[in-house]
Chains A and B, each alone.
Chain A
Amino acid sequence: MQHPMKNTVKTAAVALVAGLLAAACSQGSATKGAESTPGGKVTVRYFTFSAAPDHVKDLDTIVAAFEKANPSVDVVVETAPYDQYFTKLQTSIAGGTAADTFELNYENFVTYASAGSLLDLGTVRGDGDDDAAYAAESLAAFKHDGKQYALPESFSTVVLLYNKDLFAKAGVAEPTADWTWAEEQAAAAKLTDKKKGVFGDFQPVTFFEFYKALKQAGGEFMAPDGSKTTFNSPAGVKAATWLVGKVGKTMPTEAQIGGTADYDTNLFKSGKLAMWHNGIWQFAGLKDVPFNWDVVVEPGDSAKASAVFHNSVAAAAATKHPKEAGAWARFLTSSSVAAQTRIASSWELPPVSDQAVLAGYLKDPKPANRQAVFDSLNAIALPPVIVRQQEMQDAVTEALSNAAAGRVTVEEALKTAADKVDGLLG
């Protein structure tokens, strides 16, 4: 048992330090919400980063269907942009004001599950609930200590998006699934027209691109037992050189980007970017651009490897309505309404076991080569996950941007990053 004095001080610390900051930072959105509405209705709050801004209406469709099937439950949606989402989630959990249900990505799932913040969804199963609706590997990814702490909600992959018109104008052959880095680089050089402000290629110089490029170059980020990093290797140098070498040549520099939000999205949408390494979540936003575009599996080097991102829905361990929260999480992740809505709006992919549902994804005519999304799943690169995840990501990204700006060599950058990450593992 804890010492009562210790408890009091701790409560004070939690409530005041974190709670105040949480309240100050969250614009109040994550801290409000009536527990139950008049007429005996139960309110379930849901906090999400993937809905806004392109898919709020699609989420509303799913919410409406759930409320129709469960008239006693009122689902309240709260959204935050991805880069603020986890700060808000963390502080709201610390302050005891967390939403009943919230989204978690694969990289952050372990942290929250091992912290005891999540409800074991196995304890609130309904009679008709069937785990067979989920793709088995997806379901297993969100198990921790044998308990289902979250349900797989969606997955997405990163592909090479390209502007067909720019390729045609420059007389360059369009990318194919057989392309390697060399072909991408040659095409990018031809497509870049700095006078017109047209860039050939855009691939962010970040941790997320690096672990994937590393795998494409035949390297590994971490030793199999996770005891130390292995990315400071010839393959690592090759991958980092590949990313860093684009900056200032076929891709804008940090100063040219000037910290502008969604710079690459706007560059592509304005028809001034020929090739863009980005996720399939961009499809919906590109529906109405005034040029032709398509996608292809990302070029590799000695191997193919595509990044796959996995999101899930979890319920807070502290929720007052575990039954309803669990039902909503299940509906949002496995109901046919949810799956169909995601497919129809190109809102990532539902991790369902029913291949017929997934096949519907191919019916949409734009982009024509949607098959590439499924092809990219044949060889995937999963992000390395450690306890001090964010520090690792920041260390790698910072070292690489130093190399990109020419402040250090690629070799120095990798050594710095490897030393730092090794220090985080201990």
Chain B
Amino acid sequence: MSDPMSDPTSDPMSGPMSGPGARSAEAVSGRSGRSAEAVPGRSGRSAGAVALAEREVTAPPTRPAHKRKRLRYAGTVAFFLLPSAIPLTLYTLIPMVGSLWASLHEWNLITPMRWIGLGNYSELLAAPETRAAFGHTLYFIAGYLPLVYCGGLGLALLLNRAMAGRDLFRAIYFLPVITSWVVVALMWKWLLNPASGVVDWALGLAGVDGPGWWTDPDWAMPSIILASAWKDLGFVMIILLAGLQAIPKEFHEAATVDGAGAWQRFRHITLPLLSPSTFFVVVISLINGFQVFDQIHVMTGGGPAGATQSVVELIYNLTFRYGRAGAASALSWLLFAVVLIVTLVQVRAQRRWVNYG
């Protein structure tokens, strides 16, 4: 097999860069997190960068003479990886091993651990609370994902046109993204307060009897979804905006000449060419959605009547409220398995609908 880097057309995901220097930079940024993904116009290729880097490292040397060079190259890569590898090991990998160990024990944080094997897992799988928590989490995702994607896409389309104050609006919509979740959640809790909140007051002026929002089990999750979508709108907007700007104008011009209307151009040019950005947004939003916690913990604490008890909120309660750190660790691993499966399915499925042309 030829080096995928040398021929950009052989791998649809490969970038235009080539040469060892570019490779290591790509590998480092691809591994270390979202930095590569935040570069405008390249967002959809980050997954490609990770896959590429892995292929680079594991590929067998083509000629024995290259062995030492390869080794030195690997050393260079390792050196550049260290700044992220050390904290990753200390704060993610080792605690993960620790939680796997804890998940096999009964442990209330203050007494010595007691080995119970898979007891925590079987108890969790049988408990109605676990099913309810996963159900609430899916409810959240089902409400949040379409809202934040459609809203973000609408904003991106709007702010991709030539208009006065465009940069200002982009900055304003991005502000909530860089604001602390606790601040945002407290603000929404106040806005949606049924007794003294602005929203119900405004609804009252319009003659509408506002709902109980986060004090009402039926409205609590919609309240959380609303606050979450509001906060993450700017993030989705920025990613999609970058994707939109990477679409060559010529395509639109050619289609217009061919007589395509605005909707047809959106449907057959914009959406397909935006699919790498869409894919990235969906993957990240789904992972974040499964881990929804901050806003729930601040706004409802899982209530009322457990209506907003998400999986991570349940993990928190099990550990710090009920002294069942072992069961909480087991639930963390169940969540990890679910997120892993969902993400793998997505990565598989993207081959069918994501267009890297």
Question: Interface of A with B (CB < 8 Å)?
Answer: 9-10, 12-14, 16-18, 20-21, 25, 87, 90-91, 93-94, 111-112, 114-117, 254-260, 388, 390-391, 394, 398, 401-402, 405, 407
Contact = CB atoms under 8 A, between A and B. Distances in A.
B320 A20 contact: no
Contacts of A115: 108, 110-111
Nearest to B317: A394
Contact of A9 (B101, B193, B319, B325): B101
Contacts, number: 99
B215 A258 contact: yes
Contact of A258 (B95, B97, B110, B196): B196
Interface centre among B110, B113, B196, B306 (most CB of A within 10 A): B110
Interface residues of B, number: 37
Contacts of A394: 321
B109 A388 contact: no
A398 B305 contact: yes
Interface of B: 90-91, 94-95, 97-99, 101-102, 108-113, 189, 193-197, 212, 214-217, 303-306, 319-323, 325, 329
14 contacts: A12-B95, A20-B91, A20-B95, A87-B320, A90-B323, A93-B110, A115-B108, A115-B110, A117-B110, A254-B212, A256-B195, A398-B305, A398-B306, A402-B305
B110 A16 contact: no
A12 B196 CA distance: 47
A116 B111 CA distance: 7
- By secondary structure, the A interface counts as helix
B194 A390 contact: no
Contacts of A257: 195, 215
B215 A17 contact: no
Contacts of B320: 21, 25, 87, 90-91
A112 B97 CA distance: 27
Given A16-B95, A17-B99, A407-B217, A258 B195 contact: yes
A258 B321 contact: no
The 6 closest A-B pairs by CB, nearest first: A13-B98, A258-B195, A94-B109, A115-B111, A255-B212, A115-B110
Nearest to B189: A259
A18 B108 CA distance: 11
Given A258-B196, A259-B189, A405-B304, A17 B214 contact: no
B109 A255 contact: no
Interface centre among B98, B99, B194, B322 (most CB of A within 10 A): B98
B102 A390 contact: no
A259 B95 contact: no
A111 B323 contact: yes
A255 B216 contact: yes
Contacts of B306: 398
Nearest to A424: B322
A53 B226 CA distance: 35
Given A115-B108, A390-B321, A260 B97 contact: no
A9 B113 CA distance: 12
Nearest to A95: B109
Contacts of B98: 9, 12-14, 16-17
B102 A254 contact: no
A71 B232 CA distance: 57
Contacts of A405: 217, 304-305
Contacts of A18: 109, 325
Given A12-B95, A91-B320, A258-B197, 20 more contacts: A12-B98, A13-B102, A16-B94, A16-B98, A18-B325, A20-B95, A87-B321, A90-B110, A93-B109, A94-B109, A115-B111, A254-B304, A255-B216, A256-B194, A258-B193, A258-B215, A259-B189, A259-B214, A259-B215, A388-B322
Nearest to A12: B98
A83 B97 CA distance: 31
A12 B113 contact: no
